[in-house]
Structure 1
């Protein structure tokens, strides 16, 4: 077929690889556990963009759609925070690259003519199903034979009785399995492999039980609801979807029998004992709303929630260190402010409405649109309690699926080379550069036997384009307290504040003569009730004759977190 009417075979293969490979990579290096997964996702989708160079003649029309405008509004946020706030350039560049890739992938899918979308959807779903089935096998090893997990082919996971896949996060595994379930429905319906659907769905549900993800259980309810409302599915597919809650019960029963008979832990049972909700998540949402009310117009700044929340007094804060609100609307509101975030969310809601309207048509594209919309809705559900769309291996497939779910924009035009070759090439080249760039950070945290001194490695890492904030953490917590360590602490705090950083940051403020600031940070550390901080403050209870560190006394007042940047 002409490239005007179909996705080339090479591009379809690229789509399969882009969706399948990134979630399956186990190899990682400290300190970023899933960095290589994200770079592999960017590379795979960059290749797809290059291979689809002339398959999207109407891509320009997609620039005016609500989804594209929403992503464009987000695209300018990171570098705005770099220029007018204090966000480190490395964090701004990383966020900009991922959002830009998401926008490109969305426009690619929206620009595909109707005749090409079926093949594109089949390729996407094939990749997701491959990733899901491989993750089933990985999860079985992690739960039933964890000694076989080598960390390079199959990731190790530290909680007995739970699976996390090669993404090393149970919630991410559950979302991947939800996508695999949706893909299984679409593929088996399109190919006529309907007898295979029930076993495939059971494998996905069983793996969700192994993950012990409460978000995954809610996703299973979404599958059953899909079976209720979608009358375009075959009778067998609807029955299989309606049976997913029963599959959940059967999986739970089988795991309970295994746990009782073997004496091994059953992670899902332990999670159920914690309750359906998470008090710490509710607390972080409460605190985020207070920050939003204090900064309603422009927010605290993109990427600055961690900084602002950690350094603002919250006596009843959750004791865990959070770098995200774990809720997409809340995160956008607190960082961008209510007008900006409201505009983005309204545009996304409008896009979802248009996608839903498209599923009510009577043409042969409806099954594809409904499967694509389900991919978006399931990850949207996850985004209400986590932040999966901050990871390229979830954001890019979701953007592509949303583009497929939306109506085609514009009339067919003669094939022309769009911007995809250079955008795809830039993603691939940037990802390869990032691998080399990250090696300078790995040398800090996992030095070789003949490594140069730590101070030299830190200085080299601080010249990294994408990861200098990781080197700053080592500088802030390993170098002697003083101006150099203080400057590094202020930069790396935008990435994640923890007990060790707060303690060393306070010491550096003390060393530079800012005793009030040192005490203020110590007060924040006390709020987290962390063992590291408790050990540090133990000296405050020593006899009066012993020297007392300044941090034993509380600060005399509240310091605006902005002045600590």
Structure 2
């Protein structure tokens, strides 16, 4: 393995967690591009002069086969906008790519590769901990503040992730990395314990309840693999850190009150499930609207809109916060259960063959991310999907996975060029979209001057879902729309069911004679976004009725 390539891979992965840029329409795009670049660097490292042939294993082909599903859904018109299927296929392809090259790296120089991954995870957790402490203590950082994400008032710190749950995931992976470093005697016990104390304390200040399930997963992992892999980390140490997390989590709001820092919610409110249980019930019902085929990849919001009128006090979500539910909503029940069964069978079978600290570390990384995927969606971000693929590749080698076929080094170079071309094209295209969205937000906010009769030029991009929302946002509802135009507005509103989007679509429906449809859309707005946005939409429609008498026929509760 090329040591410089591995170093660049680790640095790029670390950078993906450090980026503070979060811009519409895709807040995590900058971080995810860096994570994808880390996967490219891993391939470059594996194509050194003395590199052996590349072995393609069944899990890689399995991921590639799943990547074909959203493309097939696009081909048959199941997905509203082709860009949704395309981006899902690209992410799955990136997961397969990372798994392929991480297995190659583990076969060629496993210790160097595993050490670089563990170092990146531990360093990312360390730097993110320092950022989170800076945020919670309201430390003035001067010009360096440009490189630290701003935390809204009353919000828990999240380093540069934009949300506490993701910081919690990285801290848990950092704890796994410290444990491996201690097992391999790369660091002393005192160093590992100090780092673990810092990471555990930072997990507390995120106020994310995910720490509970992540520590539970780690304790179960240790019970299953301590003897099998010959681990020297005592289980009592993991239990002690878990108990410390529970105790500090319970008193954290009082600690903030004593030191007069930003207030945290009371413990009772932090232990409430919030709208997640309503969303699960809602989406479970949506599954049975299309049980055989599902709604398509990236269409969870569309599925939610299908039943939104039946569930008050819900919340719009583009993800179900449960990986199995997502799979069923994307693919239908039969295919989702098949994917889950095959993946579970292979993971369990491979994990039972683990006999080393490296393999146990890979299982722990996979287990932590999969466990959290049952209540969140970390694997829908490349900066966690890439480490997941790396751990998967390590486990493949540890389990003695046999390749389906062997690819030559020149073929590997050709695949690298193709992957860079596809991913680079998507990244470059997205920068144009981001710039257009920035201008669109100024226009919608009435900042600057726009000619009265100016027509918004179409946004030509492979991300057709983003171009559709862009065009929708830059247009005004009017009478005289034909059926195709109104149907297109409906697809956009159901894909992006934000309050302003649903409001605009309801106005268009009412102006074009679809009063029952307008009432349903406004009901969906009320159920998903609450009484205040509904009241604002209702009042605006009342005012518009002076110029559009047809709106007076719209009887609203």
TM over 0.5: yes
TM-score range, shorter chain: 0.7 to 0.9
Q: Distance in 2 between matches of 1:520 and 1:278?
A: 28
Cα deviation code 1:170-214 (max 9, x no counterpart): 111101111111011112332143321111111111111111111
The 3-state SS of whatever aligns with 2:293 is coil
Cα deviation code 1:230-265 (max 9, x no counterpart): 144654564432321243156447845642322324
Q: Distance in 2 between matches of 1:530 and 1:83?
A: 39
Q: Distance in 2 between matches of 1:108 and 1:522?
A: 50
Deviation of 1:273 (Å): 1.6
Structure 1 residues 74 and 493, CA gap change in structure 2 (3 angstroms):
farther
Structure 1 residues 93 and 550, CA gap change in structure 2 (3 angstroms):
farther
Q: Distance in 1 between matches of 2:454 and 2:38?
A: 34
Structure 1 residues 456 and 35, CA gap change in structure 2 (3 angstroms):
farther
Aligned with residue 389 of structure 1, among 373, 379, 382 = 379
Kindly indicate whether the alpha-carbon contact (under 8 Å) linking 2:39 and 2:97 is maintained by their aligned counterparts in 1.
Answer: no
Kindly indicate whether the alpha-carbon contact (under 8 Å) linking 1:179 and 1:375 is maintained by their aligned counterparts in 2.
Answer: yes
Aligned with residue 167 of structure 1, among 157, 161, 167 = 161
Deviation of 1:553 (Å): 3.1
Does residue 465 (structure 1) correspond to residue 462 (structure 2)? The answer is: yes
User: Which position in structure 2 is the counterpart of 1:205?
Assistant: 200
Deviation of 1:114 (Å): 3.7
Q: TM-score, normalised by structure 2?
A: 0.86
Q: Distance in 2 between matches of 1:496 and 1:414?
A: 42
Cα deviation code 1:415-440 (max 9, x no counterpart): 73443522452334543443344323
Q: TM-score, normalised by structure 1?
A: 0.85
Kindly indicate whether the alpha-carbon contact (under 8 Å) linking 2:61 and 2:96 is maintained by their aligned counterparts in 1.
Answer: no
Structure 1 residues 237 and 130, CA gap change in structure 2 (3 angstroms):
farther
Q: Distance in 2 between matches of 1:179 and 1:410?
A: 28
Q: Distance in 2 between matches of 1:277 and 1:74?
A: 35
Structure 1 residues 383 and 261, CA gap change in structure 2 (3 angstroms):
same
User: Which position in structure 2 is the counterpart of 1:316?
Assistant: 311
Kindly indicate whether the alpha-carbon contact (under 8 Å) linking 1:319 and 1:530 is maintained by their aligned counterparts in 2.
Answer: no
Kindly indicate whether the alpha-carbon contact (under 8 Å) linking 1:135 and 1:165 is maintained by their aligned counterparts in 2.
Answer: yes
Q: Distance in 1 between matches of 2:30 and 2:321?
A: 23
**Aligned length, in residue pairs:** 536
Structure 1 residues 421 and 300, CA gap change in structure 2 (3 angstroms):
closer
Q: Distance in 1 between matches of 2:281 and 2:51?
A: 44
Deviation of 1:98 (Å): 1.3
Aligned with residue 438 of structure 1, among 419, 434, 437 = 434
User: Which position in structure 2 is the counterpart of 1:532?
Assistant: 533
User: Which position in structure 2 is the counterpart of 1:345?
Assistant: 340
Does residue 27 (structure 1) correspond to residue 17 (structure 2)? The answer is: no
Q: Where does structure 1 lack aligned partners over 5 or more consecutive residues? A: 1-6, 556-565
User: Which position in structure 2 is the counterpart of 1:261?
Assistant: 258
Kindly indicate whether the alpha-carbon contact (under 8 Å) linking 1:225 and 1:242 is maintained by their aligned counterparts in 2.
Answer: no
Q: Where does structure 2 lack aligned partners over 5 or more consecutive residues? A: none
Deviation of 1:548 (Å): 7.6
Kindly indicate whether the alpha-carbon contact (under 8 Å) linking 1:24 and 1:135 is maintained by their aligned counterparts in 2.
Answer: yes
The equivalences for 1:272-421 within 5 A come to 272-274=267-269, 276-359=271-354, 361=355, 366-406=356-396, 407-410=399-402, 416-419=409-412, 420-421=415-416
Q: Distance in 1 between matches of 2:541 and 2:436?
A: 39
Cα deviation code 1:441-478 (max 9, x no counterpart): 22322579888769879525x22323x43343343244
Does residue 12 (structure 1) correspond to residue 14 (structure 2)? The answer is: no
Deviation of 1:514 (Å): 2.9
